[in-house]
Amino acid sequence: MTYVLSVIALASVFSLLTLALNLHFGIAGLINFGIVAYFAIGAYTYAVLTQPPPSALDKYALGLELPSSVGVIGGIAMAVLFAALTGWPCLRLRTEYLALTTFAFAEVLHSVLLNTREIGNGTRGLSNILPPFYTTFPIEDYDLWVAGLMVAILLLATIAMQRLARSPFGATLRAIRDDELAAAAIAKPVARFRLEAFLAGAALAGFAGILFAWYTTLVSPDLFTANITFTAFIALVIGGVGSNYGALVGSFLLFGIQEAIRVVPLSDDAAQLLSSLRPVPFGLALILILRFRPQGLAGQWAV
């Protein structure tokens, strides 16, 4: 039961990240191959703002022990700030170049986190993060409450993103995605709309990062690699690019399968063999989807 709840919580976190990616890629047409950066910034900022000051063994410089609400706001704000800094030069670029530069920014951030102890304790990471509402939620049902909280946040975010996609703002973003020149010809300030979409998506990705920190109670550089970005892309393609519900369907399916495989009872030898084959079903699923249902499982709900 606890295990199922933890899978639900993790899948909710990744659904939130995939929703953010859907705003960037599915609705605004911005190929962001570095969305993990905004996810990591949210998580690290939350950790730094809320963790206790460093003890003798820790090498990190800052632990502000602020309330988690400040951590949440600060984490989102930092993700947006980083998006503004990276987005301003990147968004002038054409799609493929945007993909490359966002990827590069994420790698640079990863490298910085890995090599500077002052921010996040280097490779060891920060492990003093408290799970959310630790003293408020009843301890005996704590996992249930956390999973419920994550699902509730996900539902609110989905409603907000669905409203965005259907709003005049979302319509203009889709118009720019479909034909940038035609959008400019009807006087849409293309660069400004792109930047707004980029910032909004980064805010959501940063929020997802905070939830991830709640879930793991640990942030370290090896948790925030390009793997995260590509997991979100795979989930989005499986669910349906452009569809908010698809982001949820894809993420839950991906994590559901992954974790279901984990609990299958196996001999040690077989387990070792199979664990190295774990990426295979995802690759296979991706190929099958692209071949037989390129619009994704929930593609009919694309706005």
Partner 1 sequence: MSGEVDTAPAAAADAARADSAGAQYQLEATGIEKRFGGIVALDGAELRVRRGTLAALIGPNGAGKSTLFNVITGVEAPDRGNVAVAGEEITGHSLSRVAASGVARTFQAPRGFASMTALDNLMVVPRAAGERLLTYLGPWGRSRRIVRERAEEVLARIGLQDHAGTRYEQLSVGQMRLLEIGRHLMRDVSLLLLDEPTSGVVPSQQQQLGMLLRDLRDEGMTILVVEHNLGFVMPLVASVSVMDRGRIIASGPPAAVQKDPTVIAAYLGGAAS
Which residues of the chain form contacts with partner 1 (CB under 8 A)?
160, 163-164, 167-172, 174-175, 177-179, 181-190, 196-197, 199-200, 242
Q: Select 169 or 301, whichever has its Cβ closest to partner 1.
A: 169
Nearest Cα to 63, choosing from 51, 75, 71?
Answer: 51
Cα dist from 132 to 65, 147, 218, 280, whole Å: 14, 11, 13, 35
Cβ of residue 32: shortest distance to partner 1, in angstroms? 17
The set of residues, in sequence order, having a beta carbon less than 8 Å from that of 78 and lying 6+ positions away, is 41, 42, 45, 206
Cβ of residue 226: shortest distance to partner 1, in angstroms? 28
Q: Select 92 or 293, whichever has its Cβ closest to partner 1.
A: 92
Query: Please, are residues 286 and 239 in contact by the beta-carbon 8 Å criterion?
Result: no
Q: Select 59 or 92, whichever has its Cβ closest to partner 1.
A: 92
Q: What single letter denotes the amino acid at residue 219? A: V
Query: Please, are residues 13 and 211 in contact by the beta-carbon 8 Å criterion?
Result: yes
Q: Select 168 or 265, whichever has its Cβ closest to partner 1.
A: 168
First-last CA distance in the chain: 36
Cβ of residue 191: shortest distance to partner 1, in angstroms? 9
Sign of CA dihedral 34, 39, 40, 42: positive
Cβ of residue 29: shortest distance to partner 1, in angstroms? 10
Cβ of residue 66: shortest distance to partner 1, in angstroms? 26
Q: Select 55 or 94, whichever has its Cβ closest to partner 1.
A: 94
